Structure 1
């Protein structure tokens, strides 16, 4: 249990410790995603998590620690718990649920949906690309696509999404989202489907993917909506004053 506590703490505490110091730089008073700008400090936590995952592929000591964690998680398992198949979606869905209950987030429905779609594409694409080239065997020996954990990546991408949308309301929304995401990663290890390094890398990929989605969104929005906003409109209005029949042509730009 001591090791389990260390894992949870390492996944959650550093992020929020750093986050408390960078909130003022990541957001501004105006509630718009266009003001969330790139800051190199935002790369520290996902970089550490992803780096740890890759380092574990080469380090014998970390591989040994992977086995110790696996053995501790699986020694008393009677049956697998499939909650991780559903919990990975909870943080992202919570953004829409909160909005439905009247708790407005940073962005409107259109912008947040574009951000979530972008994040999902980056997350899934990165996970599948790495799985195809790393060929790491799963702890249960079922396949060679263990690294990184896709379930964990989706969960942490959603947790970062929830955090960014509601951090100006209360940091506890983000804490709850990250707790669910960490739980998802723990259950992936509990079910003997992933190593600790898989979960760490998945968490880093998920967080980074959502940050990238926020950084990209102003440019994506301009491409998607700019042409629509700048379309000219025209219409013809016939009129008759009792003597003369005229046709007026109006055009707006």
Structure 2
């Protein structure tokens, strides 16, 4: 099986969708609305069903003998047929979130402006990162390859699904295919974590749930978090989180103008 071809097929929808939408746009002006135009996501209990189901499955798998056997069977099957590891998941985990900024740079307007969506993404990333690192240190699940005891949950998968939900929320009103493409890339990231023998299936499931829930929480908390960056004494002050990637690490920088 040629996994490089599979990766190209999985990534194709996001680029083809981006190209199609961009060609339809006649106006490529980068118009950024005021912060008052921000559209936070309203909380709905139904939004918890999918992520909590995924997280619950992951937690059950830690102690369930049946699910442990399933994890082992998948891992053994992967190891038996693996040719060599493909580390593309180190990059695809960031692709959905990066697509939001790429689309904005191309003039495809999303739900929120640059400042607001950066605050939402930073909040989501912080929630996701704290949750993942805390669970890793508490559960101490051994990785399939036996290299360490921090397998649960999958951080790569959590990052990818957080970005996919972020992409979906920002562009679902423009085209549903943006969100679908983001989730395809996120799912591929999780699959490669299993393929590379770095995670169990339950690690990936829990990571996906945490990522989705973290992104939603970023939107739910936005009105409150946004107040931290508002200045009553200087209404012209503008603040924003700017994501960065230096080839080894990913993070956010805080920029403020007066």
2:148 corresponding residue in structure 1: 143
How far has the Cα of 1:83 moved from its partner?
0.2
Structure 1 portions without partners, runs of 5+ = 2-29, 232-253
- Tell me the equivalent position of 2:38: 32
Matching residue within 56, 59, 65 for 2:61:
56
* 1:219 corresponds to which of 220, 224, 233: 224
Give per-residue Cα distances to partners, 1:100-150, cap 9 Å, x unaligned.
Answer: 111111000000000010011111111000000101000000000000000
Partner of 1:14: none
Q: Which position in structure 2 is the counterpart of 1:106?
A: 111
More helix by share: 1
Which of structures 1 and 2 has the bigger CA Rg? 1
Q: Tell me if the contact between 1:33 and 1:217 (Cα under 8 Å) persists in the aligned partners.
A: no
1:226, CA displacement in angstroms? 4.8
Once residues 52 and 159 of structure 2 are traced to their aligned partners in structure 1, the CA distance between those partners, rounded to angstroms, is 17
- Rounded Cα–Cα distance in structure 2 between residues aligned with 1:82 and 1:53: 23
Deviation at 1:153, TM superposition (A): 0.3
Question: Once superposed, which parts of structure 1, at least 4 consecutive aligned residues long, lie more than 3 Å away?
Answer: 228-231
Q: Deviations over 1:30-80 (max 9, x none)?
A: 96323x210000000000000000000111000111011112222111210
Relative to structure 1, the CA distance from residue 143 to residue 200 in structure 2 (aligned partners, 3 Å threshold; closer, same or farther) is same
TM score, norm. by length of structure 1? 0.77
**Count of residues in correspondence between the two structures:** 202
- Structure 1 residues 180 and 31: CA distance shift in structure 2, 3 A: farther
Instruction: Give, in angstroms, the shift of residue 171 of structure 1.
Output: 0.9
TM-score, reference length from structure 2: 0.75
RMSD across aligned positions (CA): 1.7
2:92 is the counterpart of 1:87: yes
Measure the CA separation in 1 of the matches of 2:232 and 2:116: 16
